[in-house]
Structure 1
Amino acid sequence: MMKKTVLAVVTVSMLGLAGCSAVHTAVAKRNLDVQTKMSETIFLEPAAERTVYLQIRNTSTEQDLSLEPKLRQALQNKGMTISTNPDTAQYWIQANVLSVGKMNLRDAENTLISGYGAGAFGAAAAAGVVGYNSSSGGAALGAGLVGALVGVAADAMVEDTNYTMVTDLQIAEKAPKGVTVTTDNIAMLKQGTSGGKVQTSTAQGDRHKYQTRVVSNANQMNLEFKDAKTALEDQLSKSGAGIF
């Protein structure tokens, strides 16, 4: 009789907890939350010339993105003129979208911290099984399994979904007349699995270059990518134009 009572209490508790988790997610994530962060701040020298050349690349799996038109419009709204000649433009914006897809917020933050040029963390999922030792033995275990199954079913219906877009951004600005910019390039090249070599070069030019990483997140309950896509594009465009 005692075992049945414990089983009933534990089962009800597990069912309640499973239900509460799903309800909490549904309430907390009912509205679309979009946030964008930049790994490094870029300061540009004020200039009377307000021309910019765009070079936007997308090496992610999501090729159906409308980034360049939106960035172009955002820059024009800031008073910039889009140039098709990189030699005469005062500024260059070079961007590459590295990845677009589901990613938990912790991995997104780590991707931001790793900065320009580093890899993007993949989406991560973790599952745990917790065991309890008690005098009711198999009854508690059975209740735990029932609660776990209910929790899985509830979570399957209510998913906390986050889509992340990771973009590496390089801004170049023309140096003042008479100023020569010297750049030392160092590349670590792998040779098989046990060797490597260092490649160095020095170049001179007339542009200062700045690099940063932009990470945008769209988070909502049961969010689909088609609903996150526009928000992610808008965030990147505003962030890029905001530098000017």
Structure 2
Amino acid sequence: MNKLFAGATLALSLSLFAGCAATGVAISKRNLDVQTKMSESVFIDPAAPQNMVLLVQVRNTSDKPDFTVQNAVESSLAARGWKLTRNPDEAQYMLQVNILQVGKSDQTAAEAMLGKGFGSEAMAVAGAGAIYAAGSDNSRHIVGGGLALGMADFVAGQMVKDVYFSAITDVQISQRTKSPVSLQGSQSLKQGTSGSENLSYAEESHWKRYRTRVLSSANKVNLSWEQAQPELVKGLSTSIAGMF
């Protein structure tokens, strides 16, 4: 009887604890938190009015092809006095954007991907589920308490979810130069599992290039994609246009 009473008491306490934890998340994450970060700062040379001619190219290689920032970026740049063109021969600047990942993700993994910088290999950013385990076989009241905690936490988790959405984007800005600049580089191309092929090159170009990676995120309790998407577009487009 004493063990049964102790088990019931422990189960009730753990259930209350799970409920309090869910309440704490609901309170601390009740307001939408939108942030945009860059892996490196980019400074481009000021342009004379006659040279403020810009080509904008946005690509989306994520699994959400409907997510786009091109219109928002172009509207912001046009409001700053930039003339937009589709002709690369006419452009004095080129803005190339590749959206790598969009959607629900894990904050730690998303920020780690930001830290790797432009062009780094994409990594999984989806959040992992939690696993709950019961106690030892010879402590039935502890097992019961663990099951109660798992059930209470499951119920609370269905009602209160800490949701994090992110958009990870690579950005390259090219600025036309009067004199040619030298470019040198190398690549290592894998040849199946048997080896690799190393390539090196040296050439001249009339473009200086600047590269960075941008992470835009939205976090709120029970946040939906419909709520997060316009905020991600706004944060990402503002950050990209702000480089000019």
Tell me which interval the TM-score lies in, with the shorter structure as reference length.
over 0.9
- Quick one: structure 1 residues 72 and 120, their matched pair in 2 at CA, closer, same or farther if it must change by over 3 Å? farther
- Does residue 163 of structure 2 align to residue 161 of structure 1? yes
Q: Distance in 2 between matches of 1:98 and 1:120?
A: 10
TM-score with structure 2 length normalisation? 0.93
Instruction: Give the root-mean-square deviation of aligned CA atoms.
Output: 1.7
Q: Distance in 2 between matches of 1:173 and 1:125?
A: 42
Tell me how many residue pairs correspond in the alignment: 241
Aligned twin of 1:236? 236
1:82-136 per-residue CA deviation (whole Å, 9 max, x = no partner) reads: 12222222211000111111111101111101111121433131424355569x8
- Does residue 78 of structure 2 align to residue 80 of structure 1? no
Question: What's the CA shift for 1:74?
Answer: 1.1
Contact 1:170 / 1:211 at 8 angstroms: preserved in 2? yes
Of the candidates 126, 147, 162, which is equivalent to residue 123 of structure 1? 126
Aligned-pair identity in percent equals 37
Aligned twin of 1:146? 148
Contact 1:166 / 1:214 at 8 angstroms: preserved in 2? yes
Aligned twin of 1:195? 195
Aligned twin of 1:224? 224
Aligned twin of 2:22? 22
Aligned ranges for residues 56-75 of structure 1 at < 5 Å?
56-75=58-77
Q: Distance in 1 between matches of 2:132 and 2:67?
A: 40
Aligned twin of 1:33? 33
TM-score with structure 1 length normalisation? 0.93
Question: What's the CA shift for 1:60?
Answer: 1.0
Q: Which runs of 4+ in 1 moved over 2 A?
A: 126-134
Q: Which runs of 5+ in 1 are unaligned?
A: none
The residue type equivalent to 2:215 in the other structure is V
